Structure 1
Amino acid sequence: MGVVTSAPQSVWSLAAPLLEGPVWVAHDAALWFVDIKGHKIHRYDPETGDKRSWDAPDQVGFVLPAARGGFVAGLKTGLAHFDPETGAFTQLVDPEPEKPGNRLNDATVCPDGRLWFGTMDDAEAEDSGAVYRLAADGDCVASTPFCSITNGPAISPDGRTLYHIDTLGGLIFACDLAPDGSLSNRREFARIPNEQGYPDGPTVDAEGCLWVGLYKGSAVRRYSPAGELLETVEFPVDAITKIAFGGPDLKTVFATTANKHLTPEEKAANPTSGDLFSFRVSVAGVAGTLVREGV
Protein backbone atom coordinates (compact mmCIF):
# COMPACT_ATOMS: atom_id res chain seq x y z
CA MET A 1 0.00 0.00 0.00
CA GLY A 2 1.33 3.43 -0.94
CA VAL A 3 2.10 6.26 1.45
CA VAL A 4 0.59 9.02 -0.70
CA THR A 5 -2.89 9.95 0.51
CA SER A 6 -3.82 12.84 -1.79
CA ALA A 7 -3.04 13.95 -5.33
CA PRO A 8 -0.66 16.87 -5.98
CA GLN A 9 -2.44 20.23 -6.27
CA SER A 10 -1.08 23.67 -7.12
CA VAL A 11 -1.01 25.89 -4.00
CA TRP A 12 0.82 28.92 -5.42
CA SER A 13 0.40 29.90 -9.04
CA LEU A 14 3.80 31.25 -10.10
CA ALA A 15 4.36 29.86 -13.61
CA ALA A 16 8.07 30.27 -12.83
CA PRO A 17 11.00 29.26 -15.01
CA LEU A 18 12.76 27.13 -12.38
CA LEU A 19 11.46 26.71 -8.84
CA GLU A 20 13.85 24.75 -6.62
CA GLY A 21 15.15 24.12 -3.12
CA PRO A 22 12.00 23.79 -1.00
CA VAL A 23 12.76 23.67 2.73
CA TRP A 24 10.38 23.64 5.68
CA VAL A 25 11.55 26.05 8.39
CA ALA A 26 9.95 24.82 11.62
CA HIS A 27 10.58 27.91 13.76
CA ASP A 28 8.88 29.97 11.04
CA ALA A 29 6.15 27.41 10.25
CA ALA A 30 6.64 28.19 6.58
CA LEU A 31 8.07 26.76 3.38
CA TRP A 32 10.95 28.63 1.75
CA PHE A 33 12.06 28.00 -1.83
CA VAL A 34 13.68 29.76 -4.78
CA ASP A 35 13.18 30.56 -8.44
CA ILE A 36 16.68 30.16 -9.81
CA LYS A 37 16.24 31.81 -13.20
CA GLY A 38 13.82 34.42 -11.85
CA HIS A 39 16.31 35.50 -9.15
CA LYS A 40 13.63 35.16 -6.45
CA ILE A 41 13.28 33.78 -2.92
CA HIS A 42 9.75 32.81 -1.87
CA ARG A 43 8.07 32.11 1.48
CA TYR A 44 4.73 30.30 1.76
CA ASP A 45 2.70 29.93 4.96
CA PRO A 46 0.22 27.07 4.39
CA GLU A 47 -1.77 27.91 7.52
CA THR A 48 -2.59 31.50 6.56
CA GLY A 49 -1.91 31.36 2.83
CA ASP A 50 0.53 34.27 3.20
CA LYS A 51 2.96 34.58 0.29
CA ARG A 52 6.10 36.74 0.31
CA SER A 53 8.96 37.17 -2.14
CA TRP A 54 12.43 38.74 -2.19
CA ASP A 55 14.75 39.66 -5.05
CA ALA A 56 18.13 37.93 -5.18
CA PRO A 57 21.18 39.62 -6.76
CA ASP A 58 21.71 36.73 -9.18
CA GLN A 59 20.64 33.15 -9.76
CA VAL A 60 19.93 31.55 -6.37
CA GLY A 61 19.93 27.77 -6.05
CA PHE A 62 18.83 27.35 -2.44
CA VAL A 63 18.24 29.01 0.93
CA LEU A 64 18.74 27.06 4.16
CA PRO A 65 18.16 28.43 7.69
CA ALA A 66 21.24 29.22 9.75
CA ALA A 67 21.69 28.90 13.50
CA ARG A 68 22.99 32.50 13.60
CA GLY A 69 19.68 33.67 12.10
CA GLY A 70 18.69 34.31 8.53
CA PHE A 71 19.68 31.90 5.78
CA VAL A 72 22.65 30.60 3.86
CA ALA A 73 21.93 31.22 0.18
CA GLY A 74 23.59 29.53 -2.76
CA LEU A 75 24.19 32.19 -5.39
CA LYS A 76 25.95 31.98 -8.72
CA THR A 77 28.85 33.79 -7.03
CA GLY A 78 29.00 31.41 -4.07
CA LEU A 79 27.59 31.12 -0.56
CA ALA A 80 26.07 34.21 1.02
CA HIS A 81 24.15 35.09 4.17
CA PHE A 82 20.61 36.28 3.44
CA ASP A 83 18.72 38.44 5.95
CA PRO A 84 15.00 38.43 5.12
CA GLU A 85 14.39 41.35 7.49
CA THR A 86 16.48 43.68 5.33
CA GLY A 87 16.71 41.70 2.09
CA ALA A 88 20.52 42.01 2.27
CA PHE A 89 23.01 39.42 0.99
CA THR A 90 26.50 39.19 2.49
CA GLN A 91 29.09 37.12 0.63
CA LEU A 92 30.63 34.24 2.60
CA VAL A 93 32.79 32.19 0.20
CA ASP A 94 33.06 31.33 -3.49
CA PRO A 95 33.97 27.63 -3.81
CA GLU A 96 34.97 27.92 -7.47
CA PRO A 97 36.34 31.37 -8.31
CA GLU A 98 38.18 29.81 -11.26
CA LYS A 99 34.89 28.61 -12.81
CA PRO A 100 32.78 31.69 -13.64
CA GLY A 101 30.48 29.55 -15.79
CA ASN A 102 29.35 27.49 -12.82
CA ARG A 103 26.61 28.22 -10.29
CA LEU A 104 25.40 26.71 -7.03
CA ASN A 105 22.40 24.43 -7.49
CA ASP A 106 21.14 22.32 -4.55
CA ALA A 107 21.99 21.69 -0.91
CA THR A 108 21.15 20.03 2.39
CA VAL A 109 22.20 20.15 6.02
CA CYS A 110 23.63 17.12 7.82
CA PRO A 111 22.15 16.18 11.22
CA ASP A 112 25.32 17.63 12.79
CA GLY A 113 24.75 21.04 11.19
CA ARG A 114 27.20 20.76 8.30
CA LEU A 115 26.19 22.29 4.97
CA TRP A 116 26.55 20.19 1.83
CA PHE A 117 25.91 21.74 -1.59
CA GLY A 118 26.48 21.18 -5.28
CA THR A 119 27.71 23.22 -8.20
CA MET A 120 26.98 22.83 -11.90
CA ASP A 121 27.74 24.22 -15.32
CA ASP A 122 25.14 26.94 -15.91
CA ALA A 123 25.15 26.01 -19.61
CA GLU A 124 24.44 22.37 -18.63
CA ALA A 125 27.18 21.06 -20.92
CA GLU A 126 30.61 20.81 -19.23
CA ASP A 127 31.42 18.28 -16.49
CA SER A 128 32.48 21.03 -14.10
CA GLY A 129 30.15 20.61 -11.11
CA ALA A 130 30.75 18.74 -7.86
CA VAL A 131 29.35 18.28 -4.36
CA TYR A 132 31.07 20.27 -1.62
CA ARG A 133 31.09 20.29 2.16
CA LEU A 134 31.48 23.58 4.00
CA ALA A 135 34.14 23.05 6.65
CA ALA A 136 34.28 24.70 10.07
CA ASP A 137 37.01 27.09 8.90
CA GLY A 138 34.88 28.27 5.95
CA ASP A 139 36.73 26.24 3.33
CA CYS A 140 34.72 24.31 0.74
CA VAL A 141 35.82 20.70 0.35
CA ALA A 142 35.09 19.01 -3.00
CA SER A 143 33.77 15.55 -2.15
CA THR A 144 32.56 13.86 -5.38
CA PRO A 145 33.69 13.35 -8.97
CA PHE A 146 32.72 16.13 -11.37
CA CYS A 147 29.62 16.09 -13.59
CA SER A 148 27.58 18.64 -15.53
CA ILE A 149 24.48 18.94 -13.30
CA THR A 150 24.78 17.89 -9.67
CA ASN A 151 21.62 17.53 -7.59
CA GLY A 152 21.34 16.94 -3.90
CA PRO A 153 22.90 15.87 -1.80
CA ALA A 154 20.47 14.25 0.61
CA ILE A 155 21.51 12.55 3.83
CA SER A 156 19.92 9.57 5.57
CA PRO A 157 18.18 10.18 8.92
CA ASP A 158 21.05 8.51 10.80
CA GLY A 159 23.60 10.73 9.05
CA ARG A 160 25.59 7.76 7.73
CA THR A 161 24.65 7.75 4.02
CA LEU A 162 24.90 10.61 1.53
CA TYR A 163 23.05 10.51 -1.78
CA HIS A 164 23.95 12.65 -4.77
CA ILE A 165 22.76 12.79 -8.36
CA ASP A 166 24.27 13.11 -11.82
CA THR A 167 21.13 14.46 -13.48
CA LEU A 168 22.10 14.21 -17.15
CA GLY A 169 23.61 10.78 -16.57
CA GLY A 170 20.39 9.58 -14.90
CA LEU A 171 22.40 8.25 -11.96
CA ILE A 172 21.76 8.35 -8.23
CA PHE A 173 24.77 7.51 -6.06
CA ALA A 174 25.06 6.57 -2.41
CA CYS A 175 28.19 7.09 -0.30
CA ASP A 176 29.15 6.18 3.25
CA LEU A 177 29.41 9.38 5.30
CA ALA A 178 31.91 9.34 8.18
CA PRO A 179 31.65 11.54 11.30
CA ASP A 180 34.54 13.67 10.04
CA GLY A 181 32.63 14.49 6.84
CA SER A 182 34.61 12.23 4.52
CA LEU A 183 32.89 10.06 1.91
CA SER A 184 33.75 6.48 0.93
CA ASN A 185 32.26 3.44 -0.81
CA ARG A 186 30.57 5.47 -3.55
CA ARG A 187 28.16 3.19 -5.39
CA GLU A 188 25.29 3.30 -7.85
CA PHE A 189 21.99 3.48 -5.94
CA ALA A 190 19.57 3.74 -8.87
CA ARG A 191 19.64 4.46 -12.60
CA ILE A 192 16.84 6.24 -14.48
CA PRO A 193 16.81 6.14 -18.29
CA ASN A 194 16.55 9.64 -19.80
CA GLU A 195 13.32 8.76 -21.57
CA GLN A 196 11.68 8.30 -18.14
CA GLY A 197 12.82 11.73 -16.94
CA TYR A 198 15.93 13.26 -15.41
CA PRO A 199 16.50 12.73 -11.66
CA ASP A 200 16.45 16.12 -9.94
CA GLY A 201 16.43 17.08 -6.26
CA PRO A 202 16.47 14.25 -3.65
CA THR A 203 14.92 14.24 -0.15
CA VAL A 204 14.70 11.58 2.58
CA ASP A 205 11.77 10.64 4.80
CA ALA A 206 11.67 9.29 8.37
CA GLU A 207 11.83 5.69 7.12
CA GLY A 208 15.08 6.44 5.30
CA CYS A 209 13.46 6.28 1.87
CA LEU A 210 14.70 8.59 -0.87
CA TRP A 211 12.26 10.77 -2.84
CA VAL A 212 13.49 12.10 -6.20
CA GLY A 213 11.79 14.63 -8.47
CA LEU A 214 11.82 13.85 -12.18
CA TYR A 215 12.49 16.68 -14.63
CA LYS A 216 10.56 15.92 -17.84
CA GLY A 217 9.23 12.81 -16.08
CA SER A 218 5.92 14.15 -14.67
CA ALA A 219 6.49 12.37 -11.37
CA VAL A 220 8.24 11.98 -8.04
CA ARG A 221 9.68 8.57 -7.14
CA ARG A 222 10.17 7.01 -3.70
CA TYR A 223 13.00 4.49 -3.28
CA SER A 224 13.78 2.20 -0.36
CA PRO A 225 17.21 2.49 1.33
CA ALA A 226 18.19 -0.53 -0.77
CA GLY A 227 17.38 1.29 -4.02
CA GLU A 228 14.07 -0.45 -4.73
CA LEU A 229 11.41 1.71 -6.40
CA LEU A 230 8.46 1.71 -3.97
CA GLU A 231 6.07 4.34 -5.30
CA THR A 232 5.58 6.85 -8.10
CA VAL A 233 3.57 10.05 -7.60
CA GLU A 234 2.17 11.31 -10.89
CA PHE A 235 1.92 15.07 -11.50
CA PRO A 236 -0.14 17.13 -13.97
CA VAL A 237 3.08 18.94 -15.00
CA ASP A 238 6.24 17.42 -16.45
CA ALA A 239 9.13 18.99 -14.51
CA ILE A 240 9.25 18.35 -10.76
CA THR A 241 12.49 19.63 -9.32
CA LYS A 242 12.38 18.71 -5.61
CA ILE A 243 10.10 18.02 -2.65
CA ALA A 244 10.13 18.96 1.03
CA PHE A 245 8.12 17.60 3.95
CA GLY A 246 6.37 20.25 6.05
CA GLY A 247 3.46 21.19 8.22
CA PRO A 248 3.16 20.45 11.95
CA ASP A 249 3.33 16.68 11.38
CA LEU A 250 5.86 16.80 8.49
CA LYS A 251 3.35 14.86 6.36
CA THR A 252 2.48 17.63 3.90
CA VAL A 253 4.75 17.36 0.89
CA PHE A 254 5.59 20.51 -1.07
CA ALA A 255 6.94 20.17 -4.60
CA THR A 256 8.66 22.76 -6.76
CA THR A 257 8.26 22.63 -10.55
CA ALA A 258 9.60 24.40 -13.65
CA ASN A 259 8.53 25.60 -17.08
CA LYS A 260 11.76 27.00 -18.56
CA HIS A 261 11.96 24.15 -21.08
CA LEU A 262 8.47 24.77 -22.50
CA THR A 263 7.56 26.79 -25.58
CA PRO A 264 5.08 29.68 -25.17
CA GLU A 265 2.39 27.44 -26.64
CA GLU A 266 3.24 24.62 -24.22
CA LYS A 267 3.16 27.05 -21.28
CA ALA A 268 -0.30 28.21 -22.30
CA ALA A 269 -1.48 24.60 -22.50
CA ASN A 270 0.12 23.75 -19.13
CA PRO A 271 -0.60 26.81 -16.95
CA THR A 272 0.36 25.15 -13.64
CA SER A 273 3.88 24.31 -14.82
CA GLY A 274 6.27 26.30 -12.64
CA ASP A 275 3.85 26.36 -9.68
CA LEU A 276 4.31 25.20 -6.10
CA PHE A 277 2.36 21.98 -5.44
CA SER A 278 1.46 20.02 -2.33
CA PHE A 279 0.04 16.62 -1.39
CA ARG A 280 -0.34 14.53 1.77
CA VAL A 281 1.48 11.35 2.80
CA SER A 282 1.26 8.89 5.68
CA VAL A 283 5.00 8.81 6.40
CA ALA A 284 6.62 11.91 7.90
CA GLY A 285 9.71 13.64 6.69
CA VAL A 286 12.78 14.43 8.77
CA ALA A 287 12.95 17.61 10.82
CA GLY A 288 15.35 20.11 9.28
CA THR A 289 18.70 21.07 10.81
CA LEU A 290 20.09 24.60 11.03
CA VAL A 291 23.44 25.34 9.38
CA ARG A 292 25.82 25.57 12.34
CA GLU A 293 29.29 25.10 10.88
CA GLY A 294 31.42 27.42 8.75
CA VAL A 295 29.02 30.37 8.66
Structure 2
Amino acid sequence: MITPECIWPLGAELGEGPVWSKTEKAVYFVDIKRKQVHRYIAATHETMTWPAPSEPGFVIPTSGETFICGLRKGLYRFDPRAGTFDKLVEVERERTGNRLNDGFSDPQGYLWFGTMDDEEQAPTGAVYRVSDAGAIERRDDGYDIANGPAMSPDARTLYHTDTRGQTIYASDVDGHGMLSNKRVFVKVQGSAYPDGMAVDAQGCVWIALYNGGCIERYSPDGKQIDTVAFPCSNITKLVFGGDDLRTAYVTTAMKGLSADKRERETLAGALFTFRSPVPGLPQNVVTRGLVHAG
Protein backbone atom coordinates (compact mmCIF):
# COMPACT_ATOMS: atom_id res chain seq x y z
CA MET A 1 0.00 0.00 0.00
CA ILE A 2 1.46 3.35 -1.09
CA THR A 3 0.45 6.29 1.10
CA PRO A 4 1.10 9.78 -0.31
CA GLU A 5 2.38 12.51 2.01
CA CYS A 6 1.46 16.18 1.69
CA ILE A 7 4.64 18.26 1.58
CA TRP A 8 3.26 21.66 0.56
CA PRO A 9 -0.42 22.47 1.30
CA LEU A 10 -0.41 25.53 -0.95
CA GLY A 11 -4.01 25.14 -2.14
CA ALA A 12 -3.32 25.50 -5.86
CA GLU A 13 -6.39 26.25 -7.94
CA LEU A 14 -4.98 24.20 -10.82
CA GLY A 15 -1.61 22.74 -9.82
CA GLU A 16 -0.01 21.04 -12.83
CA GLY A 17 3.10 19.92 -14.67
CA PRO A 18 5.70 18.91 -12.04
CA VAL A 19 9.24 18.49 -13.37
CA TRP A 20 12.40 17.47 -11.55
CA SER A 21 15.48 19.71 -11.55
CA LYS A 22 18.43 17.39 -11.00
CA THR A 23 20.89 20.25 -10.47
CA GLU A 24 18.74 21.98 -7.84
CA LYS A 25 17.21 18.77 -6.45
CA ALA A 26 13.90 20.57 -6.67
CA VAL A 27 10.44 20.23 -8.15
CA TYR A 28 9.06 22.97 -10.38
CA PHE A 29 5.35 23.10 -11.21
CA VAL A 30 2.65 25.59 -12.17
CA ASP A 31 -0.71 26.84 -10.99
CA ILE A 32 -2.39 27.55 -14.30
CA LYS A 33 -5.38 29.55 -13.10
CA ARG A 34 -3.46 31.64 -10.56
CA LYS A 35 -0.72 32.34 -13.15
CA GLN A 36 2.14 31.13 -10.95
CA VAL A 37 5.29 29.01 -11.21
CA HIS A 38 6.35 27.22 -8.01
CA ARG A 39 9.51 25.54 -6.77
CA TYR A 40 9.95 23.09 -3.89
CA ILE A 41 13.50 22.18 -2.83
CA ALA A 42 13.49 18.60 -1.57
CA ALA A 43 16.29 18.74 1.01
CA THR A 44 15.36 22.00 2.74
CA HIS A 45 11.59 22.12 2.00
CA GLU A 46 12.20 25.70 0.87
CA THR A 47 9.53 27.08 -1.48
CA MET A 48 9.47 29.86 -4.04
CA THR A 49 6.73 31.33 -6.23
CA TRP A 50 7.01 33.49 -9.35
CA PRO A 51 4.11 35.38 -11.00
CA ALA A 52 3.69 34.60 -14.71
CA PRO A 53 2.39 37.03 -17.38
CA SER A 54 -0.46 34.66 -18.32
CA GLU A 55 -1.61 31.11 -17.58
CA PRO A 56 1.42 28.76 -17.55
CA GLY A 57 0.60 25.29 -18.87
CA PHE A 58 4.06 23.86 -18.20
CA VAL A 59 7.72 24.58 -17.41
CA ILE A 60 10.34 22.22 -18.85
CA PRO A 61 14.05 22.48 -17.94
CA THR A 62 16.61 23.21 -20.63
CA SER A 63 20.28 22.21 -20.81
CA GLY A 64 21.14 25.53 -19.14
CA GLU A 65 19.67 27.12 -16.02
CA THR A 66 16.45 28.25 -17.67
CA PHE A 67 13.14 26.64 -18.59
CA ILE A 68 10.85 26.63 -21.59
CA CYS A 69 7.48 27.80 -20.30
CA GLY A 70 4.24 27.38 -22.21
CA LEU A 71 2.11 30.41 -21.44
CA ARG A 72 -1.40 30.98 -22.78
CA LYS A 73 -0.48 31.71 -26.40
CA GLY A 74 3.21 31.04 -26.77
CA LEU A 75 6.51 29.56 -25.68
CA TYR A 76 8.70 31.66 -23.40
CA ARG A 77 12.12 31.37 -21.78
CA PHE A 78 11.68 31.44 -18.01
CA ASP A 79 14.73 32.37 -15.93
CA PRO A 80 14.07 31.65 -12.25
CA ARG A 81 17.17 33.62 -11.20
CA ALA A 82 15.62 36.85 -12.50
CA GLY A 83 11.97 35.80 -12.54
CA THR A 84 11.70 36.82 -16.19
CA PHE A 85 9.62 35.42 -19.06
CA ASP A 86 10.99 36.20 -22.53
CA LYS A 87 8.81 35.39 -25.52
CA LEU A 88 10.25 32.91 -28.02
CA VAL A 89 7.36 32.13 -30.38
CA GLU A 90 3.60 32.58 -30.61
CA VAL A 91 1.41 29.48 -30.88
CA GLU A 92 -2.06 29.08 -32.44
CA ARG A 93 -2.73 32.73 -33.16
CA GLU A 94 -5.72 31.66 -35.29
CA ARG A 95 -7.30 29.52 -32.53
CA THR A 96 -8.22 32.42 -30.29
CA GLY A 97 -10.11 30.39 -27.66
CA ASN A 98 -7.21 28.01 -27.06
CA ARG A 99 -4.37 28.01 -24.57
CA LEU A 100 -1.26 25.88 -24.15
CA ASN A 101 -1.56 22.94 -21.78
CA ASP A 102 0.70 20.05 -20.73
CA GLY A 103 4.18 19.42 -22.18
CA PHE A 104 7.37 17.37 -21.88
CA SER A 105 10.80 16.85 -23.43
CA ASP A 106 11.65 13.56 -25.12
CA PRO A 107 15.03 11.79 -24.69
CA GLN A 108 16.37 13.50 -27.83
CA GLY A 109 15.73 16.90 -26.29
CA TYR A 110 12.68 17.86 -28.38
CA LEU A 111 9.78 19.69 -26.75
CA TRP A 112 6.28 18.23 -27.13
CA PHE A 113 3.15 19.98 -25.86
CA GLY A 114 -0.61 20.12 -26.20
CA THR A 115 -3.21 22.85 -26.51
CA MET A 116 -6.84 22.98 -25.44
CA ASP A 117 -10.06 24.95 -25.67
CA ASP A 118 -10.02 27.08 -22.52
CA GLU A 119 -13.79 26.57 -22.19
CA GLU A 120 -13.17 22.77 -22.35
CA GLN A 121 -15.88 22.25 -24.96
CA ALA A 122 -14.61 22.53 -28.55
CA PRO A 123 -12.22 19.98 -30.16
CA THR A 124 -9.72 22.68 -31.14
CA GLY A 125 -6.73 21.36 -29.18
CA ALA A 126 -3.73 19.72 -30.81
CA VAL A 127 -0.41 17.99 -30.08
CA TYR A 128 2.80 19.70 -31.23
CA ARG A 129 6.53 19.05 -31.47
CA VAL A 130 9.15 21.78 -31.82
CA SER A 131 11.66 21.14 -34.61
CA ASP A 132 15.41 21.79 -34.67
CA ALA A 133 14.68 25.06 -36.49
CA GLY A 134 12.19 26.08 -33.80
CA ALA A 135 9.12 25.43 -35.97
CA ILE A 136 5.91 24.46 -34.15
CA GLU A 137 4.88 21.27 -35.95
CA ARG A 138 1.38 19.86 -35.43
CA ARG A 139 1.44 16.09 -34.88
CA ASP A 140 -2.20 15.39 -33.94
CA ASP A 141 -5.43 17.37 -33.75
CA GLY A 142 -9.08 17.35 -32.65
CA TYR A 143 -8.87 17.43 -28.82
CA ASP A 144 -10.98 19.42 -26.36
CA ILE A 145 -8.05 19.03 -23.93
CA ALA A 146 -4.78 17.59 -25.25
CA ASN A 147 -2.91 16.43 -22.18
CA GLY A 148 -0.17 14.42 -20.57
CA PRO A 149 2.34 13.60 -23.29
CA ALA A 150 4.86 10.98 -22.15
CA MET A 151 7.13 8.46 -23.86
CA SER A 152 8.11 4.81 -23.46
CA PRO A 153 11.65 3.95 -22.30
CA ASP A 154 12.71 3.01 -25.85
CA ALA A 155 11.28 6.33 -27.18
CA ARG A 156 9.21 4.46 -29.77
CA THR A 157 5.77 5.07 -28.24
CA LEU A 158 4.15 8.41 -27.43
CA TYR A 159 1.31 8.38 -24.92
CA HIS A 160 -1.09 11.31 -25.10
CA THR A 161 -4.42 12.04 -23.46
CA ASP A 162 -7.84 13.11 -24.66
CA THR A 163 -9.00 14.21 -21.22
CA ARG A 164 -12.64 14.97 -22.03
CA GLY A 165 -12.89 11.76 -24.06
CA GLN A 166 -11.47 9.82 -21.07
CA THR A 167 -8.98 8.14 -23.39
CA ILE A 168 -5.20 7.70 -23.39
CA TYR A 169 -3.81 7.01 -26.84
CA ALA A 170 -0.54 5.40 -27.85
CA SER A 171 1.18 6.25 -31.14
CA ASP A 172 4.34 4.96 -32.74
CA VAL A 173 7.12 7.55 -33.03
CA ASP A 174 9.83 7.41 -35.69
CA GLY A 175 13.29 9.00 -35.60
CA HIS A 176 11.91 12.26 -37.02
CA GLY A 177 9.18 12.59 -34.42
CA MET A 178 6.39 11.60 -36.79
CA LEU A 179 3.41 9.74 -35.31
CA SER A 180 1.62 6.71 -36.76
CA ASN A 181 -0.54 3.77 -35.72
CA LYS A 182 -2.58 5.77 -33.20
CA ARG A 183 -4.56 3.43 -30.96
CA VAL A 184 -6.42 3.38 -27.65
CA PHE A 185 -4.09 2.50 -24.78
CA VAL A 186 -6.51 2.96 -21.86
CA LYS A 187 -10.16 4.01 -21.72
CA VAL A 188 -11.07 5.39 -18.28
CA GLN A 189 -14.48 4.43 -16.95
CA GLY A 190 -16.84 6.29 -14.63
CA SER A 191 -16.60 9.95 -13.70
CA ALA A 192 -12.78 10.30 -13.61
CA TYR A 193 -10.79 12.08 -16.31
CA PRO A 194 -7.21 11.15 -17.25
CA ASP A 195 -4.84 14.08 -16.84
CA GLY A 196 -1.02 14.11 -16.80
CA MET A 197 1.14 11.01 -16.64
CA ALA A 198 4.66 9.62 -16.30
CA VAL A 199 6.41 6.44 -17.39
CA ASP A 200 8.63 4.34 -15.13
CA ALA A 201 11.79 2.36 -15.91
CA GLN A 202 9.72 -0.79 -16.53
CA GLY A 203 7.69 0.99 -19.19
CA CYS A 204 4.57 1.19 -17.03
CA VAL A 205 2.41 4.30 -17.34
CA TRP A 206 1.24 6.18 -14.24
CA ILE A 207 -1.94 8.17 -15.01
CA ALA A 208 -3.29 10.94 -12.77
CA LEU A 209 -7.09 10.97 -12.57
CA TYR A 210 -8.93 14.28 -12.24
CA ASN A 211 -12.11 13.78 -10.21
CA GLY A 212 -10.80 10.28 -9.55
CA GLY A 213 -8.79 10.81 -6.36
CA CYS A 214 -5.95 8.55 -7.44
CA ILE A 215 -3.11 7.66 -9.77
CA GLU A 216 -3.39 4.38 -11.66
CA ARG A 217 -0.41 2.41 -12.95
CA TYR A 218 -0.75 0.46 -16.19
CA SER A 219 1.50 -2.15 -17.77
CA PRO A 220 2.82 -1.49 -21.30
CA ASP A 221 -0.03 -3.61 -22.67
CA GLY A 222 -2.65 -1.44 -20.95
CA LYS A 223 -3.55 -3.59 -17.92
CA GLN A 224 -4.06 -1.83 -14.58
CA ILE A 225 -1.60 -3.13 -12.00
CA ASP A 226 -1.62 -0.60 -9.15
CA THR A 227 -3.50 2.35 -7.64
CA VAL A 228 -2.31 5.16 -5.37
CA ALA A 229 -5.21 6.82 -3.52
CA PHE A 230 -5.15 10.48 -2.40
CA PRO A 231 -7.18 12.45 0.17
CA CYS A 232 -8.50 14.80 -2.53
CA SER A 233 -10.38 14.43 -5.81
CA ASN A 234 -8.36 16.19 -8.49
CA ILE A 235 -4.98 14.60 -9.21
CA THR A 236 -3.23 16.27 -12.14
CA LYS A 237 0.28 14.91 -12.81
CA LEU A 238 3.37 13.28 -11.29
CA VAL A 239 7.11 13.29 -11.88
CA PHE A 240 9.82 10.93 -10.60
CA GLY A 241 12.70 12.62 -8.79
CA GLY A 242 15.32 12.14 -6.12
CA ASP A 243 18.74 10.57 -6.58
CA ASP A 244 17.23 7.13 -7.25
CA LEU A 245 14.21 8.43 -9.26
CA ARG A 246 11.88 6.62 -6.87
CA THR A 247 10.44 9.69 -5.14
CA ALA A 248 7.27 10.73 -6.95
CA TYR A 249 5.98 14.30 -6.70
CA VAL A 250 2.31 14.87 -7.46
CA THR A 251 0.30 18.02 -8.19
CA THR A 252 -3.41 18.42 -7.39
CA ALA A 253 -6.13 21.03 -7.92
CA MET A 254 -9.14 22.70 -6.34
CA LYS A 255 -10.69 23.73 -9.67
CA GLY A 256 -14.16 22.29 -10.14
CA LEU A 257 -14.75 21.44 -6.48
CA SER A 258 -17.99 22.59 -4.89
CA ALA A 259 -17.85 24.85 -1.84
CA ASP A 260 -18.70 21.83 0.31
CA LYS A 261 -15.91 19.72 -1.21
CA ARG A 262 -13.39 22.55 -0.84
CA GLU A 263 -14.22 22.66 2.85
CA ARG A 264 -13.93 18.88 3.26
CA GLU A 265 -10.89 18.31 1.05
CA THR A 266 -8.48 20.36 3.11
CA LEU A 267 -5.46 19.15 1.10
CA ALA A 268 -6.91 19.84 -2.35
CA GLY A 269 -4.35 21.75 -4.42
CA ALA A 270 -1.42 20.46 -2.33
CA LEU A 271 1.89 19.05 -3.55
CA PHE A 272 2.28 15.41 -2.50
CA THR A 273 5.05 12.85 -2.54
CA PHE A 274 5.30 9.07 -2.30
CA ARG A 275 7.96 6.41 -2.70
CA SER A 276 7.59 4.32 -5.82
CA PRO A 277 8.38 0.57 -5.88
CA VAL A 278 10.32 1.14 -9.11
CA PRO A 279 12.33 4.09 -10.42
CA GLY A 280 10.95 6.43 -13.01
CA LEU A 281 12.68 7.63 -16.13
CA PRO A 282 15.16 10.50 -15.85
CA GLN A 283 13.83 14.01 -16.36
CA ASN A 284 14.62 14.96 -19.95
CA VAL A 285 15.70 18.52 -20.71
CA VAL A 286 15.06 20.58 -23.84
CA THR A 287 18.24 20.83 -25.92
CA ARG A 288 16.79 21.31 -29.43
CA GLY A 289 14.88 23.97 -31.26
CA LEU A 290 14.16 27.16 -29.32
CA VAL A 291 16.68 26.75 -26.53
CA HIS A 292 19.29 29.01 -28.11
CA ALA A 293 16.85 31.46 -29.70
CA GLY A 294 16.65 35.11 -28.72
Q: TM-score range by the shorter chain?
A: over 0.9
Match of 1:283 in 2: 278
Say if 2:181 is the partner of 1:151: no
Say if 2:84 is the partner of 1:88: yes
AA aligned to 1:290 is: V
Superposed displacement of residue 145, structure 1 = 2.6
Are the counterparts in 2 of residues 104 and 117 from structure 1 also a CA contact under 8 Å? yes
TM-score by length of 2: 0.97
Distance in 2 (CA, whole Å) between partners of 1:68 and 1:250 is 21
Say if 2:3 is the partner of 1:7: yes
Distance in 1 (CA, whole Å) between partners of 2:34 and 2:233 is 19
Match of 2:125 in 1: 129
Say if 2:225 is the partner of 1:238: no
AA aligned to 2:65 is: G
Match of 1:207 in 2: 202
AA aligned to 1:213 is: A
**What secondary structure, in the 3-state scheme, does the structure 2 residue paired with 1:268 have?**
helix
Match of 1:292 in 2: 287
**What secondary structure, in the 3-state scheme, does the structure 1 residue paired with 2:23 have?**
helix
Unpaired runs of at least 5, structure 1: none
Moved segments of 4+, more than 3 Å: none
Q: Work out which of the residue numbers 52, 60, 63 in structure 1 matches 2:56.
A: 60
Please give the root-mean-square deviation of Cα atoms over the aligned residues, in Å. 1.0
Are the counterparts in 1 of residues 144 and 164 from structure 2 also a CA contact under 8 Å? yes
Are the counterparts in 1 of residues 66 and 78 from structure 2 also a CA contact under 8 Å? yes
Q: Work out which of the residue numbers 12, 23, 41 in structure 2 matches 1:16.
A: 12
Unpaired runs of at least 5, structure 2: none
Distance in 1 (CA, whole Å) between partners of 2:12 and 2:45 is 19
Distance in 2 (CA, whole Å) between partners of 1:172 and 1:145 is 14
Are the counterparts in 2 of residues 170 and 194 from structure 1 also a CA contact under 8 Å? no
Q: How does 1:1-295 map to 2 (within 5 A)?
A: 6-195=2-191, 197-295=192-290
AA aligned to 2:6 is: S
Distance in 1 (CA, whole Å) between partners of 2:2 and 2:169 is 29
Alignment deviations for residues 189-209 of structure 1 (CA, whole Å, 9 cap, x no partner): 1101242x1000011011111
Tell me how many residue pairs correspond in the alignment: 290
AA aligned to 1:175 is: S
Distance in 2 (CA, whole Å) between partners of 1:168 and 1:289 is 27
| Aligned residues with identical type, % of pairs | 46
Distance in 2 (CA, whole Å) between partners of 1:58 and 1:260 is 17
AA aligned to 1:193 is: Q
Superposed displacement of residue 11, structure 1 = 0.6
Distance in 2 (CA, whole Å) between partners of 1:238 and 1:286 is 26
TM-score by length of 1: 0.96
Are the counterparts in 1 of residues 153 and 201 from structure 2 also a CA contact under 8 Å? yes
Are the counterparts in 2 of residues 41 and 53 from structure 1 also a CA contact under 8 Å? yes
Superposed displacement of residue 125, structure 1 = 0.7
Distance in 1 (CA, whole Å) between partners of 2:34 and 2:190 is 26
AA aligned to 2:186 is: A
